[in-house]
Structure 1
């Protein structure tokens, strides 16, 4: 691997970081060995304003692809795009690949050429799908699914291909999850069999349950005024859900998983409105840090703050914690005029 970084003044610290957060230091214009894959190139603020001019990888200039990076400000955590000017304590970050052809293809398939040099976070979201190591007694298909890290990708927002849309953490901060769980336990009185793709750890018995407000996901919608729970109504209003198509409480116990699958259980009329990121999910447990839910190349999704997931992508789950995972799943008609999504 050969890397050169050109700027209007001498650089400070710089290094590479792989998908498992391992750091590699290197010298400019000096060939070094690197395992094939994705790496985040980090260039730290040197103490005074610095302007990046070009990055050259294996004798290939990034040119406009340089604008796929951003500046991460240390004090605020805010990402500035375009970020080629290092203006405060922080660092410039850009994901590169040892195979430049793959890097070019991935970025051009994600970002329209005319938008390089603009603030990409206005129209796109950025994800990094990282590999994870799960316990040996976890089913092989689950271990393999989570061990596969697809790396970074830009996604067009509010698009049928967007893998998920996360809410800003402040939006649902005052939702009483315990009250919501109690309401859902009472209102979701249709018991649903766990699908055949639900699995326990080796040698364990499957205990997970699914309960729904209705028996399935068929039109017509349920109006919010028809809901018996006040906290559920508040949740829908805050999350921008105008009408409900389905409401499910899914309980997943420690060590249990759902194998990779695509949701295809809708009738034709329902499927027509179940496109893009339209399935809302919120983890109702006190600690969701080890409740893993991965949607295709989009990687892990933030169940703790609430998000809309696109179940037209293959997705799988695993509860790596020692507590049950009560998951609120809502499908319905969204109010896309509300500006409540996590923007940066």
Structure 2
């Protein structure tokens, strides 16, 4: 893993660990944290469901397994800071980890539908948002506070949104949110809150720092040290994105025919329609072969074969989604003070001799 920070622990896999794998092994799955990883005893853990409901619930893992249908969802999670390094190359972003393209991973998740639990609690009509709370206290917040977030009720009631206790067929590891985490497919990973202990139905979005202040795209001229609540654009659905998995940036290769592979992800319930690859700065493009997604919520892998010339070559990739939207060319126009949502054309350089 490429470790960006030890405390809090933040790490991403290298491209090679993701290449050729539709599902990411647990030990290669990226890890994004905002504070110390809590140590929770599963037998003593409880989930509180309250707020704008007709009856508050307190549920153990045994209750969740016994009272609700267990389902599986294959889904890709992606950090809002994925590919931030491309924005850092435009202008420095102090205090933020320079994530590469590996803050993206895919797993098969098992648990219960959040909609079923909310139905058991009896949502009131005015419940427009569902808030998540966890016990990990983050000093990134001002003042320090436990991590929290929220999503609109319309998303929370989707059949893909889970309270998950298993990952790739095994118990949810502590580093990935065990014993229970929220899983919000198609949305930035920050909304899939780990170590979940509290679900609250609300009329307004969560007031937690990580919903009200952080995870917002601020104007380029804004001071990220003094953001106010509701400043900028709150991040929800993942932006259309793609990147390379093979070869790696800076690779030394023999000239001639070379297989090129990568991933693409459209976010929310959109799919990727096309991926193009260029060797001449975008003057001409070759359309890559694109795998079908394993579910509406997973990435799609793509591949092509290019004839690489002798010397230093830049390879570029861009994706289109099912609405006809395409990734923008330059990170210059996407730069923001927190380094979120870089979905500019993916670029690697290779040297062939």
Which range, TM-score by smaller chain?
A: under 0.3
- Normalised by the length of structure 2, the TM-score is 0.26
Q: Name which structure has the greater RCO, CA cutoff 8 Å, separation 6+.
A: 2
Looking at CA atoms only, which structure, 1 or 2, has the larger radius of gyration?
1
- Normalised by the length of structure 1, the TM-score is 0.26
